[in-house]
Amino acid sequence: MSLHPARVVLVAGPSGSGKSYIAWRTGLPTLCLDDFYKNSCDPSLPRRGQAIDWDSPNSWDADAAMAAIKELAKTGTAKVPAYSFSANQAIGDRTVTIGDSRLFVAEGIFAAELAQCCQELGLLANAFALHRSRATTFVRRLTRDLAEHRKPARVLIRRGIALYRADREVLARQVALGCVPANGRQIRRAVSSMPA
């Protein structure tokens, strides 16, 4: 183990904007932060009316996600949940390793929530908010969610429309939390120029 911890590149962005794809395209080891959603039986889950508000950062375990980033940076290995969106709960766990890499990506809709803590701990290489056209994001998100049977089609379409309307607000919050707005090409170019 190196005396110098690995550093993390955070990739945030609206749901369906292509964060996982961009993370993969960087060629770096990747931690999927969406695996840290809370189980649907968790009494601390926020609600909007009678329904769970899965778009709130409070529906996600930021402490567990940050612990995984710290563990990966320090030891190169972390055990993380394996989350099922159709079941709304973790269905096991898996081990993420980064090998000898001194950089890794942590991507997810709530990645920006960790930017300040990563910065304070000296673990942040950079933080990005992936920016695409709202129409492209809407189509990508709906196609993915329907293909993965995440929820009934009627729910996915209704949620997709609501997220389409909220995309600008989501990006503004992520930028306010310390992320740099960038498209996929800009993120890949910035990551490729970072010292390994």
Find out whether 39 and 90 touch, Cβ atoms under 8 Å: yes
> Rounded to whole angstroms, how far apart are CA atoms 131 and 141?
14
Which of 12-26, 33-47, 53-67, 161-175 has the lowest average pLDDT?
161-175
The reported pLDDT for the residue numbered 147 is 76
What residues contact 70, with CB distance under 8 A and at least 6 apart?
121, 123
Residue 60 lies in a domain: yes
Q: What is the pLDDT confidence band of residue 127, given thresholds at 50, 70 and 90?
A: very high
Residue 80 lies in a domain: yes
Cβ-proximal residues to 166 (8 Å cutoff; 6+ apart), any chain: 14, 55
Average pLDDT over residues 169-184: 93
Residue 78 lies in a domain: yes
Give the pair of three-digit tokens for residue 157: 């379409």
Structural domain total, the chain: 1
In Å, how far from its chain's centre is CA 108?
Answer: 1
Full residue range of the structural domain in which residue 68 is found: 7-192
Percentage of the chain with pLDDT > 70? 91
- 29-65 pLDDT, tens digit per residue, is 999 999 999 999 999 999 988 888 888 899 999 999 9
DSSP 3-state assignment of 147? helix
Record the tokens describing residue 17, joined without a space. Answer: 């904007």
In this structure, is residue 82 part of a structural domain? yes
Average pLDDT over the chain reads 88
Q: What pLDDT is stored for residue 1 in this prediction?
A: 44
* Region 88-101 average pLDDT: 92
Mean pLDDT, residues 106-119 taken together: 97
Q: Which residues pair with 95 in a beta bridge?
A: 79
Q: Does 1 map to a domain? A: no
CA atoms within 13 A on the CB side of 186: 12
On whether residue 72 sits in a domain, the answer given is: yes
CATH of the domain at 62: 3.40.50.300
Residue 95 domain-assigned?
yes
Is 91 inside any structural domain?
A: yes
Region 3-28: mean pLDDT is 89
